[in-house]
Each structure stands twice: as C-alpha cells, then as structure tokens.
Amino acid sequence: MAERLDIEGLRALVAISTHGGVTRAAEHLALSQPAVSHKIKRLETVLDCELLARRAGGPLFTEAGTRLLEYARRMMDLHDEALAALGKKPLAGTIRLGMTEDTTGGDVARILGKFTRLHPDTKVSTRIGQSLTLSDWLSSGEIDIAVIQVLRDDVLRDDIVLYEDRLHWIKSHDLPLKPNAPVPFLAFDQNCFYKHWAQAQSDGTELQFETVLECPSVSGILAATRAGLGVALMNGLHVSPDIEVIEGVFPEPPAIAYVARSNPKIRSDAARALLNEIATEVGRPTVMRVA
C-alpha cells in the first residue's frame, strides 16, 4: 500500500476538533486557513472520503472524519512521546503542583498523564486544597503551578484560562427559606472564597449567612445540600436536576474561571514545559519559553 497519512495533516485534524473549526485551528497552528484546508484535502485524497462535513450549523466531521480523529489523537500522542523520549535534552525534575478537588479528574489530569509519559524523568508532586489556600502556597513559593477557581474579574494577564462557569445558589427542594432568619450556609472551609464573596455581599444589609457546616469536598457539600442542611454556592458543573437552583432571592452570583496560575519566579524547566503543554491543549499561545 503506497498511501501514507501525513502527520501534519492529522495534527491539523486534531486542531480543528480542539479549537472548533478550520479558522481557529489555523490560528493555533500559525498557518493560513488555506494551508490547513489543503492538509485536510490531502488526507481526504489519500483516504478517498470526505472528513469535514462542511455544512453551516452542522457537525464539524463526517462519520469517517470522526473515526479518523480517534486514530489521529492516539498517533499524535505517540509521535510526541517518541520525540520527547529520543530527544537530546530530556526534561527532568520535580514539578510542585496544586489543584482543587474538582479539577483532579478532568482535562488537567489527562494533560498530566500525557506529560508524564512524554517526560518520564519528571515527577509531579501534587497537593489538593481550596483555591485561596493554593494561592497562598503559590505566593509563598511552596508550589510552582496552581489550578484554581477565581472570580472572572480576577483573572490575571498570565493566567491560562481552562474554562469558565457561573456560580449558583442551591438548596434541597424540601428546604424552606425562612424570611428574616439567618440563612444556613454550607462552606468548604474558613478559606472558602465562595463564603468570602457571600459575606461581602451581605455586609451592610439585613441578609445574614450562618455557616452550619464546613466540608472541604464538593461531594460532601452536595450531599449536605441534598439532605436539606442549608444553602450553598456551587458552580454549574456540579448542579443537577435533584437540586433546586435559587433564583431572585440572594445577590446574583458571579462568573468564575478555572485557571492555571504560575509562580512568577518559577525556575523549573519542567514546570515551564508543563505550563506550555497546558496552554497548547487549551489553545492559548505559549506563555513561557523553556530554557
């Protein structure tokens, strides 16, 4: 069989999926849109089938394109892993990473898995904590990178925004809200920035929040909410139909962002490389150059 799949064409296919279209993929790859389209066309010629649906408002890929995309992702991972493994300057060292509980099982974990396969001589030492605690550790130099939640208005210029969400007031469908009574509030801990925000909104008003439970885990707060122990602030990612979203009673909750934030004095090449990998995965330009 003389046909060969072009590795850069497969990379373009993955970029189209990751960034939501040919134009954005071209921006990410630092190529022109016609150049990306040409790479895809060459793949279609080799495979004798259409890969992009090319219908406004429809899915990006045809059935064949979706199938090839699965192979392309695996091939890209192996390709990059081989380059890293056989490169002349393998990365080594320990990366001190801080994460919130609800980011340990998502895209960041997948990126970490890929990174450690690409760079087997690196070690990632991870600590789990609340966002404000992680920010303190970052400022004091105890960790190199923090994956945290912040208010959308508090995103810094060098933060890598992983995704955005909005907070919601939630309670059990069976929990009545008593007028003119303190609101039983469920907090993650004393350093819970949801709690700090709620208290700041109630200052100078008749609204009072009384913390009735502190629990450092999302699952614990959700269980307490379902049990009717109190009211909580929770990001939309974790809100389900069996929980009531409270509308028009309390101050409008703010938008938030999950970000990867680094210590500006970071000296570890491995940590800078991980930041670059995260930035690449979420479609931002490289934020730090690896020495």
Ordered mean pLDDT values, 10 residues apiece, the chain (291 residues): 79 87 84 90 91 82 92 83 65 89 78 85 90 92 93 90 92 92 92 90 88 92 96 91 93 92 82 85 47 27
Residues 136 and 276 reside in one and the same domain: yes
Q: Which residues of 222-245 are buried (b: 16+ CB within 10 A; e: fewer)?
A: bebbbeebbbbbbbeebbeeebbe
Q: What are phi and psi of 255, to 5 degrees?
A: -75, 150
Residues 106 and 249 reside in one and the same domain: no
- Domain that includes residue 16, residue range: 7-86
Number of domains comprising the chain = 3
CATH number at residue 130: 3.40.190.10
**pLDDT for residue 187:** 94
CA dihedral 280, 284, 285, 286 (to 10 degrees): -50
Residues 263 and 126 reside in one and the same domain: yes
> Taking a C-beta distance cutoff of 8 angstroms, is the pair 257, 155 a contact?
yes
Instruction: Please report whether residue 204 resides in a domain.
Output: yes
> Taking a C-beta distance cutoff of 8 angstroms, is the pair 73, 34 a contact?
no
Structure token digits, residue 258: 């999950």
**pLDDT for residue 231:** 97
**pLDDT for residue 86:** 67
**pLDDT for residue 2:** 56
Gap between the terminal Cα atoms of the chain: 42
**pLDDT for residue 15:** 86
Residues 189 and 205 reside in one and the same domain: yes
Within 13 Å and on the Cβ side, how many CA atoms surround 93?
Answer: 16
Alpha-carbon distance of 237 to 286, in angstroms, equals 27
Q: What are phi and psi of 153, to 5 degrees?
A: -75, -10
CA dihedral 17, 29, 289, 73 (to 10 degrees): 40
Closest CA to 76 of 10, 124, 19: 10
Residues 171 and 246 reside in one and the same domain: yes
> Taking a C-beta distance cutoff of 8 angstroms, is the pair 258, 163 a contact?
yes
